[in-house]
Structure 1
Amino acid sequence: MGTIRPVYFTDELKVGMTAFQSKTITETDIILFSAVSTDTNAIHLDEEYAKTTRFGTRIVQGFLTASLISSALANRLPGPGTIFLGQNMRFLAPVHPGDTVTATLTVLDVDYVKNKVRIETVCTVGDKRVVEGEALVLAPPRPKE
């Protein structure tokens, strides 16, 4: 098997570049994420309990929603070989089972010497922002020939 080429090497990145990753969150996603993360909060898994909360129904784990940011960084921009250095985020609105979440990345700054890239990270459901923040990543440098 050959080497997987990143979508973008550091020297190809420019301020303003964008990428998107979308996924519809299924019941299976919620259950598997609960198992892997051990986040078994009843608000995610028990409809009867969730009806008694301020949301009135089950909501998706915040970090399951935000995991689309990691997916977009690893698969879209910069792509394979990207290393997460940091992330700040705010959770703005709940996501519900069956919602389609879109993670949008926008390059804010590129340090071509250190291969560091600052990226705005936003997750939406339709036109509604549900997560927003900023990531700092180490982008893959172009291999020396």
Structure 2
Amino acid sequence: MLDNMPRGTICIEDIEIGMLRYLRKEVTDRDIELFAEVSTDRNPVHLDDDYALDTIFEGRIAHGMLTAGLISAVIGEQLPGHGTIYMKQSLTFMAPVRPGDVVYAEVKVVDINHAKRRVTLDCHCAVGDTVVLRGEAVVLAPSRKFD
């Protein structure tokens, strides 16, 4: 399941404070397995049911950076979108994401530096009413002047 807003590019000239974009995605066992393969993070809390039952999470959880990757997807595909370059990202992980959870990932424009083409975005992910991740990103936005 994937639910998101239109993809593309919003150039710095068209970005406004308060703009927001989001996606909604179900995190599957396959997502977790593929992330473990690509990242080489094979911590058993993500992959082994028996092991994970004996942890503070009492069951398997998705990699935190898999969840953070959904923020990256919103930034790179929607706001600002194609051509955006990450400069900085802060993250605070607040609750686990489990296989089968539907994650809502949102970014919102909180500051714009037109001279430097920098956009600051408030970022968060939630599962239902539970915020699982909060952060802030600073990105270099695309511009029509450089097309």
Q: Which band: TM-score by shorter chain?
A: over 0.9
Q: Give the deviation of 1:143 after TM superposition.
A: 3.2
Structure 1 gaps of 5+ residues are: none
1: distance between equivalents of 2:65 and 2:57? 18
TM-score, normalization by structure 1 = 0.94
One of 104, 115, 118 as aligned partner of 2:117: 115
* Contact preservation (8 Å) 1:8, 1:77: yes
Aligned counterpart, 2:29: 27
Aligned counterpart, 1:130: 132
* Contact preservation (8 Å) 2:9, 2:83: no
1: distance between equivalents of 2:145 and 2:38? 35
Q: Do the aligned partners of residues 40 and 6 (structure 1) sit closer, same or farther apart at CA in structure 2, a change above 3 Å counting?
A: same
Q: How many residues of Structure 1 are paired with residues of Structure 2 in the alignment?
A: 141
* Contact preservation (8 Å) 1:59, 1:95: yes
TM-score, normalization by structure 2 = 0.93
- Runs of at least 4 residues off by over 6 Å: none
One-letter amino acid of the counterpart of residue 126, structure 1: G
One-letter amino acid of the counterpart of residue 51, structure 2: Y
* Contact preservation (8 Å) 2:75, 2:81: yes
Identity of aligned residues (%): 45
2: distance between equivalents of 1:91 and 1:32? 21
* Contact preservation (8 Å) 2:23, 2:74: yes
* Contact preservation (8 Å) 1:6, 1:81: no
One-letter amino acid of the counterpart of residue 63, structure 1: M
Aligned counterpart, 2:3: none
Q: Give the deviation of 1:7 after TM superposition.
A: 2.3
CA RMSD of aligned residues (A): 1.3
